[in-house]
Structures are given as structure tokens and as C-alpha cells.
Amino acid sequence: MTAVYRIVAPNPGPYTGPGTNTWIVEAGPVVAVIDPGPDDATHLAAINKRLAGATVGVVLVTHSHPDHLPLAERLAVAHHASVKRHPELGDEDVVRVGTLNVTALFTPGHSPDHLCFWLAGDRALFTGDLILGRGSSMVTYPEGDVAAYLHSLERVAALSPRTLFPGHWDPVEDAAGKIEEYRLHRLEREAQVLAEVRRGSGTASELTRRVYGDLDDRLMFAAEMTMRAHLRKLVDDGLVRSNGEVDQEVFDAPVS
């Protein structure tokens, strides 16, 4: 088994859990660093301490969100390494680092530029924010795409991974169970949204309050952006109809 080490960035919060996971993957004489995280001096020092002088062959980034990407260039320059991420890396591109072949998998949905990294020999998948160790991933309007997200889950399920190394929280040993949990969660949310629209028309904001109930302002905003992402898929599928401008859009069920 390839040795993998985790350093958790000091950026805990409602959307990052304990913090962003930076993964160091041993590859013989060198290592790969996956998701360096936020540009934080304390986190950089923690990464360097864990590296203990090891040669960094490549810095890989799952996606460009500010809790995953910003430290990449600073870390790479300090170690004379390269940064590789979308769009430089395309689907099924293989990065050779030391003794490892790391395959990039284009897995949009959480973000339009999302990659997972696959170690076929270990059946290990670094999932970024496609799948987390706990809770659910954010798929929010306008960059989140529920249809693409579901397709990405199906894509990684077909690999039959053994272990998931997520962008937040702990590694997942029951990979198949976790992927299915995520798939069912999205489908259940979609069914809930569709049922609410069929009960009565409403704006995205109104539907959010009807589905999610009372939340604080920050969580309510995230819930509405999630609602909008689901509504977009349902409109594209022809199951929901939208009328009006974006900010005043009213959603209802088509007359059968």
C-alpha cells in the first residue's frame, strides 16, 4: 500500500469541517502533495514539517476553491515543483510522479473544474469535495451542477475504489457505501424539491423556506443556492417550469 499522510489546514468552519485536508503521497524517492489548501503560513510550516526534507515531485489540486488552491504556487516554488490542475489536466490524464501513476478524473458538479485523483494499484481515490468524510458536499448555483454531480458519482462508483481520501473529514474505508449514500442523498433532495413545487408554485427563496424551514442567514443563503441548482436540473429535465426574470423567477409544475 502506498503511504499517505494528512495535514489539516487551520480553516475549520461550517463548510470545511475541521479544515481542508492536504494529502502527502509517497512515491518512492519523491512525494506528491494533493490540495495544499489556503495560503496560510502556519499550514505551510506544518506541511514542510511533515515533508521533513522530502522532494516534492508535483503539487496536485482538485479544484480552485479558496480552501484548496491558494497555497499551491507558494508551496511548489519553495520545492521547485510543478502545479497541475484543471484545465491543464484533462480527464484520464496520467501524472507520473516517482514510482506512481496518478490518474486525473474530471468529476464536475461541486465545481466546474473539479478533478479526483486515482491510484489504481491501491484502488485509492482522492475525492476533493466530490465526496467528504462526513456530511454532504455543496452543489450550489451557479457553478454547481446536480446532473453533472450525479454523473461524477456514477463515474467513480464504477471504479470500485477501496478507500476515499476526501477534501474534508476522515478517510472513508467503505467507499461503495459512501458513494451510494451521496447518490441517494441527492436523489432524495431532488424528489423533495419536486414534490414541493407540485404542491404549489414559488420563487427559489420561497421554496427554500418551505423545504428547509428556518435557518440562520448564512445557512439560508447556501440552502437557496442548493435549491436553485436542483431547480435548474428539474427545469432541464422538463419536470419543472420557470417563469420570469432570474431574481423573480417563479417555479411550478407543467400542466400534464
What domains appear along the chain, each with residue ranges and CATH number?
A: 4-185 (3.60.15.10), 196-252 (no CATH)
Any idea which residue has 489556503 for its cell?
A: 38
Listed in sequence order, the residues at least 6 apart from 158 whose beta carbon sits closer than 8 Å to its beta carbon are none
Q: In what order do the strands lie in the sheet with 202-203?
A: 202-203, 250-252, 241-243
**Stated pTM of the model:** 0.96
Listed in sequence order, the residues at least 6 apart from 80 whose beta carbon sits closer than 8 Å to its beta carbon are 56
Given pLDDT bands bounded at 50, 70 and 90, which one contains residue 256?
Answer: low
Write down the pLDDT at residue 1.
85
Given pLDDT bands bounded at 50, 70 and 90, which one contains residue 214?
Answer: confident
Q: What is the mean pLDDT of the chain?
A: 96
Write down the pLDDT at residue 246.
65
Write down the pLDDT at residue 130.
98
Is the CA virtual torsion 206, 210, 212, 215 positive or negative? positive
DSSP code of residue 190: H
Does the pLDDT value for residue 244 go beyond 80? no
SS3 state of residue 180: helix
Instruction: Report yes or no: 31 and 98 within 8 Å, Cβ to Cβ.
Output: yes
CA atoms of 232 and 240, how far apart (whole Å): 9
Write down the pLDDT at residue 248.
80
Does the pLDDT value for residue 255 go beyond 80? no
